[in-house]
Amino acid sequence: MSHFTGSRIVVLRTLLDGPKCWRDLLVAYYGPERSQEPATTSFSNQLKKLINLCWIEKKDGFYLITDMGKQVLQGIEPAYVAAAKSEAQIAHELKKILGR
């Protein structure tokens, strides 16, 4: 299993701008429309996995990207990082397209 998923890249990319609270990451992960609905455990699981990989850390209620997380992003094609979407974003977009 690859550690480089769109979902994880979205979180890392969001944290490049500085520390974020849980809600800010939720909006980035799901997108503005979908983030108004209840969160699934996949979001919390992603944050836990990123912390376990030492790519992010939680400090004083905020999430921060670590130096290792920055190195991970630097090793990925910039166009892929810029275009990455979480699985939740993709699923929401498909539902809109299919009218479900």
Is 50 exceeded by the pLDDT of residue 99? Answer: yes
Is 90 exceeded by the pLDDT of residue 97? Answer: no
Q: Which domain holds residue 22?
A: 6-98
Q: The CATH number of the domain where 42 resides is what?
A: 1.10.10.10
pLDDT at residue 32 in the model: 73
Structural domains in the chain (count): 1
Are 30 and 43 spatial neighbours (Cβ–Cβ below 8 Å)? yes
Are 8 and 50 spatial neighbours (Cβ–Cβ below 8 Å)? yes
Torsion of CA 43, 33, 37, 25, to 10 degrees: 30
Is 90 exceeded by the pLDDT of residue 35? Answer: no
pLDDT tens-digit map of 36-94: 666 667 788 889 999 999 999 999 999 999 999 999 999 999 999 998 988 877 877 78
Q: Is residue 1 part of a domain?
A: no
